Amino acid sequence: MNPTIAANSEASTSRREREAQTSSAMALLEVATGYWLPRCLHVVADLGVADALDDKPRSAAELARAVKADPDSLDRVLRLLASHGIFERRDGNYAHNELSRALRTDHPHSVRAYVRLVGLPVFWNSYGLLEQVIRTGEPAVNTLEPGGIFAYFKDHAEECEVFDAGMKAKAETAIWPVLDACDFSPFGTIADVGGGLGHLLKAILKAAPKTRGVLFDQAHVVERVAPADRLDIQGGDFFRGPLPRCDAYILMEVIHDWNDEQSKTILQQIRKAAPAKAKLLIVETVLPDETIRHFGYHLDIQMMVVTGGRERTVDEFSQLFQTSGFQLTQVIPTQGPYSIVEGIAV
C-alpha cells in the first residue's frame, strides 16, 4: 500500500476513535449533569413563569418583573430550557410552544402542579441521600421524617397542598387512557382503594352511570372529598380493614408505594372483603422483560428513595396476587405509560 494512503487511513481511523471517545464522554457528562435541567424546570414552575407569559413574546426582564425574579438569572435559566424545547427564544425574547403551555395553570392538561411536586424540598433532599439508600435499602425520607413520607405531608400543610395538586394533575393525565382501555359498566359497585380525593373514581362513575362507587382512604383524606352522585365515602386503614364488599376494586399507584409484604397485606385485606370472582384492577407501570427505556424505571427509583416501594414486572405482580388470594388474568395496556393489571378473587 502507498505509504501516504496508509498514513491517511491510520489518521482517519485515529480521528474516528477520538470522535467516538469524545462522544461517549459527552454522553456520560450529559447524564451526570442532568439534574441541572430539571431543577431549572422545577423553579420556573414554582415561580409561575408560564402563567406570566401570554401569546406575545416577552423579554426576560418583563417576565422577571412579573414573577419577582432577577432578570439575568431568569434569562439564563429560560435559555437552557428553550435549548431543550421548553419555551422558544426569539430575538432575545421568549414565547410559548407546546411544551411550555403545559406549564400554565389554566392548560387543560397542565403538568405545572406535578412538576412543582417533583421539586419539593423533601424529594430533592432525599436524592442527596441516594448513596445511603443504595447501601442500606431504606428509603431516604425515613431519615428526614421517621414516620415516612405520608407522615411528613400530614405535618407540612403547604407542601401537602402542592402534593395533592400534583397528584391530581398526574392522575388526570392517566384517567382518560384508563377509561379508554377498560369498560367499568359491568360492575354494580367498585371501590377505589387508596383513592385520595376521588378523581379517578368520579370519572369512572361518570363513564358508567349505573355503577356505584366507594372511595376508601384514610379518614383525614376522605373528609376533604366533595360529595358526588352514587359515591359513598369510607375512611379507614387498608392495612387493617375492614374494606367494603364490592364487585371490583381499583388501586391506582397505591401498591407501588409499598414493599412486597406490605402490598400483600393490603391485597389480603381486600380479599377478605371481596366476594368470589370479584375483580382486582391495579393501575401502575409494568416493567418490561427486557431493559429498554421505560418510564417505570424512573418511578421505580422514586419509590425506592421515597417510600421503600417498587415498580413490578408481570411475574412479580402474578406472584403477589397468588399470595393474596387473587389470580392474575390479564394485563391491559393503556395509551400512556400505565397498564391495568387485572386479577380475580379465587
Are 107 and 172 a contacting pair, CB within 8 Å? no
Q: Is the dihedral of CA 79, 84, 90, 91 positive or negative?
A: positive
Side chain identity at 146, as an amino acid letter?
A: P
**Residue 315, C-beta contacts closer than 8 angstroms, at least 6 positions apart:** none
Angle separating helix axes 71-83 and 60-67, nearest 10 degrees: 110
Give whole-number Cα distances, 264 to 137, 218, 330, in Å: 19, 19, 19
* Cis omega (within 30 of 0) for bond into 242: yes
CB atoms within 10 A of CB 267: 25
Q: Among this protein's residues, is 256 annotated catalytic? A: yes
Instruction: Return the half-sphere exposure (C-beta side, CA atoms, 13 A cut-off) of residue 223.
Output: 4
Side chain identity at 130, as an amino acid letter?
A: L
Catalytic residue selected from 42, 220, 256, 298 = 256
**Residue 120, C-beta contacts closer than 8 angstroms, at least 6 positions apart:** 159, 162, 163
Query: Which cell goes with 307?
Result: 417510600
From its phi and psi, is residue 29 left (phi > 0), alpha (psi between -120 and 50) or beta? alpha
Give whole-number Cα distances, 333 to 14, 199, 337, 343, in Å: 47, 20, 8, 14
Query: Which cell goes with 209?
Result: 352511570
Residue 341, SS3? strand
Compute φ and ψ for 163, nearest 5 degrees.
-60, -45
Would you please indicate which residues are annotated as catalytic (active-site) residues?
A: 256
